[in-house]
Chain A
Amino acid sequence: METLCPCWVGEHPAEPKPDRVIYLVRGEKKTRSPLSQLYFCRYCSELRSLECVSHEVDSHYCPSCLENMPSAEAKLKKNRCANCFDCPCCMHTLSTRATNIPAPMPDDPTKTTMKKAYYLACGFCRWTSRDVGMADKSVASGGWQEPENPHTQRINKLIEYYQQLAQRERQERDRKKMARRRQCMPMAFSQHTIHVVEKYGLGTRLQRQRAGAPLSSLAGLTLKEGEDQKEIIIEPAQALDEVEPLPEDCYTRPINLPEVTTLRQRLLQPDFQPSGASQLHPKHKHLLMKRSLRCRKCEHNLSKPEFNPTSIKFKIQLVAVSYIPEVRIMSIPNLRYMKESQVLLTLTNPVENLTHVTLVACEEGDPEDVNSTAKVMVPTKELVLAGKDAAADYDELAEPQDFQDDPDVVAFRKSNKIGFFIKVVPQKEGDTDVLVSFKIRHDFRNLAAPIRPNEEAGDATTEAIWLTHHVELSLGPLAP
């Protein structure tokens, strides 16, 4: 969230441009997004968006020191890095700086020698750790401590109590389920309990501590009863009648504005929420995580990043742009109400084999066609796209393939891309953008499907299936 100073003169920073070409995802919820943000499950042969996949945490890492951390350790450290700090003032990363200070030598107190003292400093807002009174440390890292929350003990006790309660509730629920289903399989059992969101964040640590009890997720048939668990008793919180009164000069004291913390600075330290800037202590940097995406229907991974935090590559990357032909708008003429104009679009083939694409205009009363404000006439003939050839740029030979292109339909052809025309007749007057939609039907060769063993040795081609996608184009406003 950003707030701008009222004296800001200039363009509003980074307003996202409206997406021009969007594809419809037919999931549980019909979402529309540009192809670059979609994934393609090649086992289900369907488009998937971020909302119809399940997100799983792969690994945790610190964004500044790029240190990897296993999930259990991350949970223990409350998802914070041990070495890096954030500036409490501007949330930038703090850097450690050294100064030389004269210090008495240990052997001879009269002579002084230069010793290094380290302090934390922010390069952006020039905050230093000396501003809040933190003394300089003699070691470069590891010497900085966050201030202790006075209520830590009480909070920990409450957490333990509620974790135990959640554990007990879960055992009872599992027992009831077990009693109902006579022939429950342990595997189905475990899947259910793994996916269920744990109440109060029950950690595996607690389960490991009780060595005698089995993990309730597996082998639920042998729950031990009457096993001695340490009963945790907590005292209920006490409500007080009297509250600390406000200071006398609360209304008359002039405010020292630079000393007052902003809401954001205050809420980033929920333990103390200091109102004065001289009590803002640096906090450890938050860890970021790498996530992997999984199709909910077939449970295959759609996106799995590399484990190493320094690597941006993916082990599995089933993104839609590498399987589905992409439509892009190349040029839009002046659009006028009820006048037919020609719009130039391009179609790119991402796969290496020849692709046949047919465009079909949406019919009347199509339930997927809700937003369009213009009539569109798409080319009726089938468009043929050449395969993507990585060496095409370096090959000096002329194109061996000769597609008979109708010059009224196909404007140009360049390796795996063609430009073609569609005719648009805007139907609505006014300030709204002109939106057209049509269906694009193409053949898809599923290389992931296993080749049946009884196929003939010479037949190497896999069967092609035809996929249909609903595409919407936003062509901008009508010409004035």
Chain B
Amino acid sequence: MKICQLLAEPHRWLRPSVKIAAGAVVCVESEIRGDVTIGPRTVVHPKARIIAEAGPIVIGEGNLIEEQALIINSYPENITPDSEGVEPKTMTIGINNVFEVGCVSQALKIGDNNVIESKADVGRNVILTSGCIIGAFCQVNTCEVIPDNTVLYGSGCLRRVQTERPQPQTLQLDFLMKILPNYHHLKKTVKASQNPS
């Protein structure tokens, strides 16, 4: 890349890297692109996809990301990738979240102990706090902050509030961390290369 290009696009200084913490189990068949940080004790199943297009993704610890789940930090629809003045927004995911099979999450901020059930679709403008459960096949594309301990369920995305947050899946995480390495190769931390040219 030329120097003038580098100065114009400062977010391309560093080649995007994937930082995987020591205790995390990330299978090689998963697709991780862009600037992604994965915390310890997180399990990423094969065929899961974590794509950081429009900004970095930071995933906390103790998360469970199942097969065919898609966590994507994508550009909003009306903005093209090369337009000026687009600030890269970081997507933060807290601890003890569960992304079940086939779900799609574009939410920029996810708290702790949330569960996004199978084939659910969470839009970009949603902010999940703690203990939220997005039911199976629910499509949430509103622009709001979902309060604590809310459950969305049913075909009309009905809501109710639980009195207690869902339990962290410690048993499942322990089991997977023991069994997955027996059958899959794991990804290790990729060292970021400082020299773009």
Contacts and interface: CB of A to CB of B under 8 A. Distances in A.
Interface of A: 3-5, 7-8, 13, 89-90, 124-128, 130-131, 258-259, 277
Contacts of A131: 162-163
B77 interface: no
A8 B83 CA distance: 33
B156 A125 contact: no
A258 B150 contact: yes
Interface in B115-173: 133, 135, 142, 150-151, 153-164, 166
B153 A258 contact: no
Contact of B153 (A3, A90, A277): A90
Given A125-B151, A126-B133, A258-B150, A5 B157 contact: yes
Given A90-B153, A126-B133, A126-B151, A277 B160 contact: yes
Given A124-B154, A126-B133, A277-B160, 17 more contacts: A4-B155, A5-B158, A7-B157, A8-B156, A89-B160, A90-B153, A90-B154, A124-B153, A125-B135, A125-B154, A126-B151, A126-B166, A127-B162, A128-B162, A128-B163, A131-B163, A258-B160
B171 to A, nearest CB: 12
Contacts of B150: 258
A8 B155 CA distance: 8
Nearest to B154: A90
Nearest to B156: A5
Contacts of B162: 126-128, 131
B159 A13 contact: no
Nearest to A280: B160
Contact of B155 (A13, A128, A258): A13
Contacts of A89: 160
Contact of B160 (A3, A4, A127): A127
Interface string B54-89: 000000000000000000000000000000000000
Contact of A130 (B157, B164, B166): B164
A130 B163 contact: yes
A127 B164 CA distance: 10
Contacts of A130: 163-164
A7 B155 CA distance: 11
Contacts of A124: 135, 153-154
Contacts of A258: 150, 159-161
18 contacts: A3-B156, A4-B155, A5-B156, A5-B157, A5-B158, A7-B157, A13-B155, A90-B154, A90-B158, A124-B153, A124-B154, A125-B151, A126-B162, A127-B160, A127-B162, A131-B163, A258-B159, A258-B160
